[in-house]
Amino acid sequence: MGPLQGVKVIEFAGIGPGPMCAMLLADMGATVLRIDRSTEVDLGQRRPPRYNLLLRSRKAIRLDLKRDAAVALALELVERADALLEGFRPGVMERLGLGPDVCLARNPRLAYGRMTGWGQEGPLAAAAGHDLNYLALSGALGAIGRKGGPPTPPLNLVADYGGGALYLAFGLLAAVLHARSTGTGQVVDAAMVDGVASLMTSVYGLHGAGTFKAERGSNVTDSGAYFYDVYQCADGQWISIAPIEGRFHAELLRRLEIDPQAIGAQWDSAHWPQARAVLAARFLTRTRDAWCSLLEGTDVCFAPVLSLEEAPRHPHLRARGTFIDIDGVVQPAPAPRFSRTPAAVPESAERALDATPAQALAGWLDAEEIAALTAAGTLAA
């Protein structure tokens, strides 16, 4: 099941964007084998395995890569893989004897994916960092926030998962396609700071043209415009509106029974504070559910601001199956969707972690090899 059936990937366990990238590939049908560290990294967010959703859809083995036998096994698996992904600091894989030169010598068709924050070279390459830092350096964080307020962290979605996991998955698949047509593998250097900068391409174009102001909260899509923002309702809940196009904006005013003269010209920013005050007062007159009844499904570009508990229950998301229940845990379904090769229902992380080394390595090594590795102590339960 899934369009990536037949693609084999080795994942060297990491945190955040690496596991997300591996999950995306596994959700789409790739056979992904995770090589876990001999000891776990504690980020202070321990939880039962079934809630570690980024580990779904793939099995794992635990190897002590400081042992020669474990490195030899890892290289044997690399020989059978289409792609590899790792998220260590530059130089770590080389010190383990698993750098790209060694792996590509063993498997010249390999797509060798490297996930870092700052990239494989540059003044900051060896420094530690997290999502927020990559947003900050790329210019993205400085552009996010309310007017007069501080830069606002948008969860760790943009750098870790948008600029990191998605770009590495895209890069790996591009390299696999190239290898299949040429027989030649290569290294994919996916730096989160590069990915975030790439996501900002349109904004940098607008800024260069002089149509995107540097001051936060002063542009159309950064809460500067009254017609692209959130508003509080009578019950304290929130709704969002985004009628950028003129006809959608006119439809909003018609449904809110607001005289356009009270708003002023939509694209004259001098009128925006007055218009915001008018809309804010109107939205405070009804509850969120009442506004949903009036505006949802129309061309005013409207949606309620839902909580994490509410979103999976929304009728539209229920109809599409955007969220699924796996072993009692509600979680996002695989995306995107394919008409001819739909993804299978993901295997829960808990079930995947319960797999024995022999089950994890099925399809990679034969039974005799697995038994010998187990007897030698290279494979641990």
What number of other Cβ atoms are within 10 A of residue 120's Cβ?
Answer: 15
Residue 324 tokens, joined: 């699924």
Peptide bond preceding 336 in cis form (omega within 30 of 0): yes
What number of other Cβ atoms are within 10 A of residue 81's Cβ?
Answer: 23
Query: Are the C-beta atoms of 203 and 210 separated by less than 8 Å?
Result: no
In the set 36, 64, 130, 314, the catalytic residue is 130
The rounded distance, in Å, linking the Cα atoms of 204 and 211 is: 10
Tell me which H or E stretch contains 356: none
Look at strands 111-116 and 186-191 and give their pairing.
parallel
299 is catalytic: no
Query: Are the C-beta atoms of 32 and 11 separated by less than 8 Å?
Result: yes
The rounded distance, in Å, linking the Cα atoms of 226 and 278 is: 10
In the set 27, 82, 131, 160, the catalytic residue is 160
What lies within 8 Å, CB to CB, of 309 at 6+ separation is none
Tell me which H or E stretch contains 86: strand 83-86
Amino acid identity for residue 265 in this structure: A
Q: What is the DSSP letter of 152?
A: -
Query: Are the C-beta atoms of 216 and 266 separated by less than 8 Å?
Result: no
Region for residue 8 given its phi and psi (left: phi exceeds 0; alpha: psi -120 to 50; beta: otherwise): beta
Q: CA dihedral in degrees (137, 143, 146, 152; nearest 10)? A: -30
Strand partners, 31: 8
160 is catalytic: yes
What lies within 8 Å, CB to CB, of 79 at 6+ separation is 106, 107
Catalytic residues: 130, 160
